[in-house]
Amino acid sequence: MRLEIGCPLLPGNPSCQGCPHSIGLKALSVLENPIVVVPAGCTTIIAGMHPKSSLKFPVVHVPFASAPAVACGLSKAYDNVVVWMGDGGADIGFATLSGSAVRNDNIIVIVSDNEAYMNTGIQASGTTFWKAKTTTSPTGKREEKKDLALIMLMHRVPYVATASVGYMHDFAQKVKKAGEIRGFRFIHLHSPCPPGWRFDSSKTVEIARMAVKSGAWILWEYDGKFKLTGASRKCRDKGKRIPIEEYLRAQGRFRGISDDDVKEIEKKVDEVWNLVESLEKMF
């Protein structure tokens, strides 16, 4: 049964056209009376400040590193406390994020990952894609891409999943399931950013789906058993994926990328798939 996904954003909110966070936030409508903790980032701007917030649920604005700790305190009095942070917030706040997972705090953490520090000028983050151009990696990022979901999985928490704004019903189902579990729950949401990735704002969902269809982003969940979900189940067979080059060439941040770079990225994507398939056998 498909979930009814509401819209918790008011008209006229200050998000960019095609903003993936504005799309992703809709999935929180499947939770009953969520309280959302937001560290500094794009969503701070989207929400705005009380009493004129653009969001229909309570929002607590906090400094970067404190979000999971604040959420832990709120969870002692409220259910469905959600930390909604970007990949930058997860970088800067990783110590408290990891600590919260170790304690198995009764909170849901969603990292809406646009693969850079978009709100402060498109600087590279730990999750920035290989060879992607940012203001701090003008020739393309060379460092390895951090996989937050797999890191959180290794904390052995009750629930971990990946999701995409291109597949909102898959995401909403995961948010609903997370809401029915107690303890620390983590969802890593892929959120392509039009200005940061340099594509037309009408193509956010299309680019997000291309990431999954090419195998560059893998949809999976762990709820005691590790399994692929949604469109990624079809992508297990590499022959059924779209070419990774098609996904890369659709984004201005990869403009001028060489054929050798494309082959290197394809190799890295294959390595991640091999790891995910091994985890299916382990968990």
- What's the pLDDT tens digit per position in 83-136? 999 999 999 999 999 999 999 999 999 999 999 999 999 999 999 999 999 999
pTM here? 0.97
In a domain, 6, yes or no: no
pLDDT (tens digit per residue) in 16-42? 999 999 999 999 999 999 999 999 999
Average pLDDT, the chain: 95
Tell me the residue range of the domain where 204 lies: 20-282
In a domain, 255, yes or no: yes
Cα→Cα distances 51→9, 13, 47, Å = 14, 14, 11
Confidence tier at 214 by pLDDT (50, 70, 90): very high
In a domain, 195, yes or no: yes
In a domain, 247, yes or no: yes
In a domain, 151, yes or no: yes
Confidence tier at 6 by pLDDT (50, 70, 90): confident
**Mean of pLDDT values over 147-166:** 98
**Mean of pLDDT values over 57-79:** 95
Check residue 118 and give its pLDDT. Answer: 96
pLDDT (tens digit per residue) in 223-247? 999 999 999 999 999 999 999 999 9
Number of structural domains found in the chain: 1
Backbone phi, then psi, for 233, in 5-degree steps? -65, -30
Q: What is the residue type of 183?
A: G
Check residue 11 and give its pLDDT. Answer: 85
Check residue 166 and give its pLDDT. Answer: 98
Going by the DSSP 8-state scheme, the letter that residue 128 receives in this structure is P
In a domain, 62, yes or no: yes
CATH number at residue 159: 3.40.50.970
Check residue 193 and give its pLDDT. Answer: 98
**Mean of pLDDT values over 261-270:** 96
Check residue 227 and give its pLDDT. Answer: 97
pLDDT at 2 over 80: no
In a domain, 13, yes or no: no
Confidence tier at 52 by pLDDT (50, 70, 90): confident
Check residue 1 and give its pLDDT. Answer: 61
Spatial distance between the Cα atoms of 109 and 75, rounded to a whole number of angstroms: 12
Counted residue by residue, the chain has a size of 283
pLDDT at 184 over 70: yes
In percent, the amount of the chain with pLDDT more than 70 equals 100
Query: Which contiguous run of DSSP H or E holds residue 75?
Result: helix 67-75
Spatial distance between the Cα atoms of 149 and 276, rounded to a whole number of angstroms: 11
Given a contact cutoff of 8 angstroms between Cβ atoms, the answer to whether 85 and 110 are in contact is yes
What tokens were used for 232? 């990624």
Check residue 49 and give its pLDDT. Answer: 79
In a domain, 40, yes or no: yes
